[in-house]
């Protein structure tokens, strides 16, 4: 079984970790669709409800949570993880969305944005022109600086200091030479999207991608979404099943954890959802832990054990993307 659709990666909001001890934030690039919520009576209210508590409205849940119905996962409505962010526009001229990204980068000088384009632009230098007109070239991470043969990416701190905070990939190979836009599969591997890519215990590459265990590509993208987006099923898809697939794809990709994860309806889950998945990925990449927040404790322990010597965690470029249907 296969599916055919236009699949456009676009950058959306940034979820950062402002309380982390690392010198720069880790990033989650996301797109969003807002769930319709159904209310039920709740024992807690007024921002006091915690993760998994029953709720009747978003106002019942504490900061970082919202009230969701997920009939396949639990009865009634409960508080699940979320984030409050302004959405970039998906519909309309590309220049408008790119100008929003420029405004974001301008007002958030420590953040990094990655755009992965399913590219249908035929006009010569058409992409270069729209990025230039949007004022984004001053943030451009040059393709000549991108690591070859699976080498490491620069530290987040170095990218910020050099103001090279916009990474752009295209699906058209010739544009790397003609426009200096990185060809996606020269730098990353990607698993099969759609229903075929959601089979438990199996993680295979999409036909355009090199094999997942090709270590000459340093980035890994994991897709986990249905051919036809189904809102009612997404809360279950984005929970335990997503975590299991990340583990499966880790094995298929020569024990490499995903740098990007694409799902539908990222806010819908049985609890932690795509946020927990990203915490897992960041934790594994930063310190080998199952949750990025544990890296803080581990860093403190290392600091104490070295009697005051500064301990610097190796930073990874992890702009984790989430596909969403609106």
pLDDT beyond 70 at 304: no
Predicted local distance difference test score (pLDDT) of residue 301:
64
Strands 166-170 and 182-183: parallel
Q: Choose the most confident range, by mean pLDDT, from 86-95, 182-191, 308-317.
A: 182-191
What is d(CA 166, CA 14) in angstroms, rounded to the nearest whole number?
13
Residue 26 forms part of a structural domain? no
Q: How confident is the model at residue 297 (pLDDT cuts 50, 70, 90)?
A: confident
Which of 15-29, 44-58, 153-167 is least confident?
15-29
Domain-terminating residue out of 53, 69, 84: 84
Domain-terminating residue out of 157, 186, 215: 186
Which of 35-39, 210-214, 228-232, 287-291 is least confident?
35-39
Structurally, how many domains does the chain consist of?
A: 3
Residues 95 and 181 in one domain: yes
Closest residue by Cα to residue 103 from 116, 117, 89, 82? 89
Residue 25 forms part of a structural domain? no
Residue 24 forms part of a structural domain? no
What is d(CA 295, CA 290) in angstroms, rounded to the nearest whole number?
9
Range of the domain at 66: 33-84
- Condensed to tens digits (0 to 9), the pLDDT of residues 236-272 reads 999 999 999 999 999 999 999 999 999 999 999 999 9
What is d(CA 297, CA 47) in angstroms, rounded to the nearest whole number?
27
Residues 144 and 231 in one domain: no
Q: How many CB atoms lie within 10 A of CB 84?
A: 10
Residues 61 and 157 in one domain: no
Predicted local distance difference test score (pLDDT) of residue 39:
38
Residues 196 and 297 in one domain: yes
What is d(CA 134, CA 106) in angstroms, rounded to the nearest whole number?
12
pTM for this model (two decimals)? 0.76
Residue 42 forms part of a structural domain? yes
pLDDT beyond 80 at 316: no
Predicted local distance difference test score (pLDDT) of residue 315:
34
Residues 297 and 199 in one domain: yes
Residues 14 and 140 in one domain: yes
Predicted local distance difference test score (pLDDT) of residue 15:
31
Phi, psi of 151 (to 5 degrees): -70, 165
Residue, of 321 and 190, whose pLDDT is higher: 190
- Tell me the mean pLDDT in the region 142-169: 95
Angle between helices 94-107 and 126-133 (to 10 degrees): 50
Which of 107-116, 172-181, 222-231, 291-300 is least confident?
291-300
Residue 322 forms part of a structural domain? no
Closest residue by Cα to residue 264 from 297, 241, 282? 241
Residues 154 and 297 in one domain: no
Cβ partners under 8 Å of residue 136, min gap 6 = 98, 101, 102, 105, 166
Average pLDDT, the chain: 81
Residue 247 forms part of a structural domain? yes
Angstrom distances, CA of residue 236 to CA of 203, 224, 296 = 19, 12, 30
Predicted local distance difference test score (pLDDT) of residue 253:
98
Number of residues assigned to the chain? 326
Residues 174 and 100 in one domain: yes
pLDDT beyond 60 at 318: no
Q: Which helix (H) or strand (E) holds 133?
A: helix 126-133
Residues 223 and 267 in one domain: yes
Chain CA centroid to CA 1, Å: 26
Residues 290 and 272 in one domain: yes
Residues 263 and 302 in one domain: yes
Residues 100 and 143 in one domain: yes
3-state SS string for 6-23: CCCCCCCEEECCCCCCCC
Residue 27 forms part of a structural domain? no
Residue 318 forms part of a structural domain? no
Predicted local distance difference test score (pLDDT) of residue 302:
60
Judging by beta carbons within 10 Å of its beta carbon (0-12, 13-18, 19+), is residue 325 exposed, middle or buried? middle
**How much of the chain exceeds pLDDT 70, in percent?**
76
Which of 18-22, 54-58, 67-71 is least confident?
18-22
């Amino acid at each position: 079984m296969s599916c055919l659709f236009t699949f456009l990666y676009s950058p959306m909001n940034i979820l950062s970790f402002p309380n982390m001890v690392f010198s720069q934030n880790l990033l989650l690039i996301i797109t969003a669709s807002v769930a319709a919520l159904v209310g039920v009576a709740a024992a807690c209210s007024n921002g006091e409800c915690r993760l998994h508590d029953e709720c009747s409205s978003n106002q019942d849940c504490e900061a970082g949570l919202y009230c969701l119905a997920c009939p396949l996962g639990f009865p009634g409505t409960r508080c699940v993880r979320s984030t409050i962010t302004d959405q970039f526009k998906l519909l309309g001229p590309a220049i408008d969305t790119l100008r929003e990204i420029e405004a974001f980068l301008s007002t958030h000088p420590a953040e990094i944005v990655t755009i992965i384009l399913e590219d249908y632009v035929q006009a010569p230098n058409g992409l270069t022109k729209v990025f230039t007109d949007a004022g984004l070239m001053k943030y451009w991470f040059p393709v000549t600086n991108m690591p070859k043969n699976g080498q490491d990416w620069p530290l987040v701190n170095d990218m910020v200091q050099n103001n090279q905070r916009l990474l752009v990939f295209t699906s058209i190979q010739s544009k790397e030479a003609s426009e200096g836009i990185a060809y996606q599969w020269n730098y990353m591997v990607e698993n099969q999207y759609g229903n075929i890519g959601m089979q438990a215990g199996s993680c295979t590459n999409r036909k355009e991608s090199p094999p997942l265990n090709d270590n000459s590509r340093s980035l890994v993208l994991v897709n986990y979404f249905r051919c036809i987006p189904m809102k009612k099923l997404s809360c279950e898809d984005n929970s335990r099943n997503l975590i299991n697939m990340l583990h499966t794809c880790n094995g298929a990709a020569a024990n490499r954890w995903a740098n990007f994860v694409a799902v539908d309806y990222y806010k819908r889950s049985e609890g932690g959802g795509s946020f927990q998945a990203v915490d897992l990925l960041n934790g594994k990449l930063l310190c080998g832990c199952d949750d990025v927040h544990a890296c803080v404790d581990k860093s403190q322990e290392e600091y104490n054990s070295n009697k005051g010597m500064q301990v610097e965690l190796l930073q990874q470029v992890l702009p984790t993307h989430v596909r969403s249907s609106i």
